Structure 1
């Protein structure tokens, strides 16, 4: 996609603005799932033993991250500081596509998720949250007598 550093065509800018607004309010599912513009980006999967959540949050200070689980609702919150020059600096920013500021993502976990068995680890900008399933909910083989 072509984006000029110094826009001169006002109609092209209106077209870009309309596409951005449409994408922000587009709730139709895509191949990537619902809500394609959230930060941090999430991958969610499940095994018979656990639910795995990967939150991709490069540049986030681990001290600013907060993971809560309450009544089956997992909340990931935090803040990423900006890296742009100060407002009083004599520098112009032409494109800023990197998200900075406070964020909050919420996920509903399955009923068999065990709130007492949650593990969260941050490594190389990827937050991995593992929520174990209750032992009673895990599949087991029944022997025939």
Structure 2
């Protein structure tokens, strides 16, 4: 009635064949080669960018990275974050799948024109780097009272 749990349905066979064809067409170094959950190159670490009237906040999700070794710089409203994730190699083991990114990375984020590059703060907690860039005082909205 249910069949063996080890038998593969025709649909799964077709999906596996499609994945193999995509690997052949685009090369083994693409996002498809790691499976459906793999990230495309250049998207590690994941980031969120939010904006308020006060400034722009960037969250960099970087578990396992030494925050002191990150190189964070801002120039002409472009925020650059460079670093590396080291992963010890298992010399005696065989990997069947490796989804965790290891190696050097670089993320570049364009910021709005009204940010103040002299007012940047960065903090690290629980694997998340938070970078806050304030807006220039002259561009912040101000309330004008009528007399």
- Output the CA distance in 1 between the equivalents of 2:53 and 2:81: 23
- Output the CA distance in 2 between the equivalents of 1:104 and 1:66: 9
Does 1:17 pair with 2:19? Answer: no
User: Which residue of structure 2 lines up, in the alignment, with residue 90 of structure 1?
Assistant: 92
Q: Secondary structure of the equivalent of 2:92?
A: coil
- Output the CA distance in 2 between the equivalents of 1:18 and 1:144: 69
Structure 2, unpaired ranges of 5+: 1-15, 33-39
* Alignment check: 8 A CA contact 1:79 1:103 kept: yes
1:110 to 1:80, Cα distance in 2 relative to 1, 3 A: same
> What does 1:52-71 correspond to in 2, within 5 Å?
52-71=57-76
* Alignment check: 8 A CA contact 1:24 1:37 kept: no
Normalised to the residue count of structure 1, the TM-score between the two structures is 0.75
- Output the CA distance in 1 between the equivalents of 2:41 and 2:54: 28
- Output the CA distance in 1 between the equivalents of 2:142 and 2:41: 37
Superposition deviation, residue 13 in structure 1: 5.5
Normalised to the residue count of structure 2, the TM-score between the two structures is 0.74
Superposition deviation, residue 118 in structure 1: 0.1
Larger Rg: 2
Q: Secondary structure of the equivalent of 1:131?
A: strand
Structure 1, unpaired ranges of 5+: 1-9, 26-34
Matched residues, number: 124
Does 1:43 pair with 2:48? Answer: yes
Moved over 3 A (4+): 10-13, 18-21
